Amino acid sequence: MITIRRLDISDAYLLIAGARDKAREIGVPMCIAVTDESGQLIAFERMDGGKVTSTTIAIDKAFTAAAAKKATHEYGAASQPGNPTFGIHSAIGGRLMVVGGGLPVAVDGEVVGGIGISSGTPTQDLQCAEAGIAHFLAMR
């Protein structure tokens, strides 16, 4: 038998709060998704003005990061043409995201969930994902 630890809903809202604050600071309304360690959605927020296309993209970034235990921008680097991971971006019906903005959420070295952000540039999305995790780790 395996015992796992995962984010609860109050953790998810801490992650969203941190990401939202950063999104406001940089002036880009974001879609923010949080999943558990299996990649299943726990909470989602589309800030007013967040892109409709980014709903699915944010959810899939969080899914990828949590379930693969890997930041989506790392997949982006690894899957460039010429690399052996090339082509992975259309896996799982296109759900495996290789664009930055998805991060695994780890506690004590263990992945307990994922956060995915979309609506800005990959750099902005990643920045908000990092802010979400920093807020969660500081406040929990």
Interface positions with a copy of itself (CB under 8 A): 1-9, 11-12, 36, 38-48, 51-57, 60, 63-64, 67-69, 73, 75-76, 79-82, 84-94, 96-100, 107, 112, 121-123, 140
CB of 42 to a copy of itself, least distance (A): 5
CB of 111 to a copy of itself, least distance (A): 10
- DSSP character at residue 106: E
- Residue 90's CB is within 10 A of a number of other CB atoms, namely 10
Q: Distance of alpha carbon 20 from its chain centroid, rounded?
A: 13
85 vs 134, beta carbon nearer a copy of itself: 85
- Residue 30's CB is within 10 A of a number of other CB atoms, namely 31
Amino acid sitting at position 107: V
19 vs 96, beta carbon nearer a copy of itself: 96
d(CA 132, CA 84): 32
Q: Are the CB atoms for 117 and 31 separated by under 8 Å?
A: yes
21 vs 121, beta carbon nearer a copy of itself: 121
CB of 65 to a copy of itself, least distance (A): 10
CB of 46 to a copy of itself, least distance (A): 5
3-state class (DSSP) for residue 112: strand
